[in-house]
């Protein structure tokens, strides 16, 4: 079974998908982490010049890039690896976050990662979160969710997270960043974020994480029973 979880940034896709995976014994795959790992690779290989990336060189080097996941022995947390080396912390930093949408808009990078995601999905029962899972990676997925919430709700969540981490940001800055990312994700030429026709829309603006997980678990169980 493949469960596709797409939607806007800061809708809690990964938090909820991980919990659903645990409850139902599915393998969780974070496809955003794969785009982040390639971005980190491009940074480490000095392929960025400001906002521009050397696409010719990236295309040459990409066949040598392996992105994989490993469970941390003590916590079971999923860690992202680049050519066998754990880069989980590096890919979550601002340097990567500020450039990942540039890498995610390159057609040959998407093709390279989509093939790997499709191979992972063929191996077993997976829940995969991203932007194009139900539309491009697995258009025939048995269950598709599209997660959304108002930009203000999402900006407030992100703002609270950053403040809790000790970052000094204003709510206005964060809201602007959320709106910019929405615009880039929905307007890029290759595989823009769109809702699949057969996706279940989950607006979790007024939902707790537990309610959100329960709704999805129940729906997946119904579908796997053939309803
Ligand atoms: O989910 P995230 O914020 O970690 O994703 C990082 C970036 O990668 C974000 O700009 C959207 C992009 N992305 C994508 O284009 N397609 C996917 N399947 C997953 C993420």
Q: Encode the chain (227 residues) as per-residue pLDDT tens digits.
A: 999 999 998 899 999 999 999 999 999 999 999 999 999 999 999 999 988 999 999 999 999 999 999 988 888 788 999 999 999 999 987 788 889 989 999 999 999 999 999 999 998 899 999 999 999 999 999 999 999 999 999 999 989 988 998 888 899 998 988 898 888 889 989 989 999 999 999 999 999 999 999 999 999 999 988 76
Residue 74 is predicted with a pLDDT of: 86
**Nearest atom within ligand 1 for CA of residue 137:** 18
Burial class (CB in 10 A: 0-12, 13-18, 19+), 162: middle
Which residues are within 8 A (CB) of 199 and not within 5 positions of it... i.e. 6 or more apart? 4, 6, 134, 144, 145, 146
Q: Which residue, by CA, sits nearest to atom 16 of ligand 1?
A: 131
Residue 199 is predicted with a pLDDT of: 97
130 lines ligand 1 (CB under 6 A): yes
Determine the angle formed by the axes of helices 13-24 and 209-224, rounding to 10 degrees: 50
Residue 150 is predicted with a pLDDT of: 97
Task: Using the CB atoms, write b or e for 40-76: b if 16+ within 10 Å.
Answer: bbbbeeebbeeeebeeeebeeebeebebebeeeeeee
Question: How far is ligand 1, taken at its centre, from the CA of residue 32, in Å?
Answer: 4
Which residues are within 8 A (CB) of 74 and not within 5 positions of it... i.e. 6 or more apart? none
Query: Which token pair is 1?
Result: 């079974």
The number of C-alpha atoms within 13 Å of 193 and in the hemisphere containing its C-beta is: 21
Query: Which token pair is 224?
Result: 């796997």
């Amino acid at each position: 079974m493949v469960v596709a979880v797409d939607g806007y940034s800061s809708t809690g896709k990964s938090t909820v998908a991980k919990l659903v995976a645990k409850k139902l014994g599915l393998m969780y795959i974070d496809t955003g982490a794969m785009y982040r790992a390639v971005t980190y690779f491009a940074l480490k290989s000095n392929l960025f010049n400001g906002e521009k990336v050397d696409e010719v060189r990236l295309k040459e080097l990409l066949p040598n890039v392996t992105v994989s996941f490993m469970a941390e022995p003590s916590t079971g947390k999923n860690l992202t690896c680049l050519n066998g080396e754990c880069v989980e912390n590096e890919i979550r930093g601002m340097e990567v976050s500020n450039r990942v949408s540039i890498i995610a808009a390159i057609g040959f990078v998407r093709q390279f990662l989509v093939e790997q995601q499709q191979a992972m999905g063929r191996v077993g029962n997976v829940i995969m979160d991203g932007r194009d899972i139900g539309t491009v990676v697995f258009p025939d997925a048995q269950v598709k969710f599209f997660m959304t919430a108002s930009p203000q709700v999402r900006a407030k969540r992100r703002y609270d997270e950053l403040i809790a981490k000790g970052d000094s940001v204003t709510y206005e800055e964060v809201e602007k960043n959320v709106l910019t990312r929405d615009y880039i994700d929905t307007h890029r030429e290759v595989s823009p974020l769109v809702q699949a026709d057969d996706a279940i829309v989950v607006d979790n603006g007024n939902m707790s994480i537990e309610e959100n997980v329960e709704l999805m678990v129940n729906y997946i169980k119904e579908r796997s029973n053939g309803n």
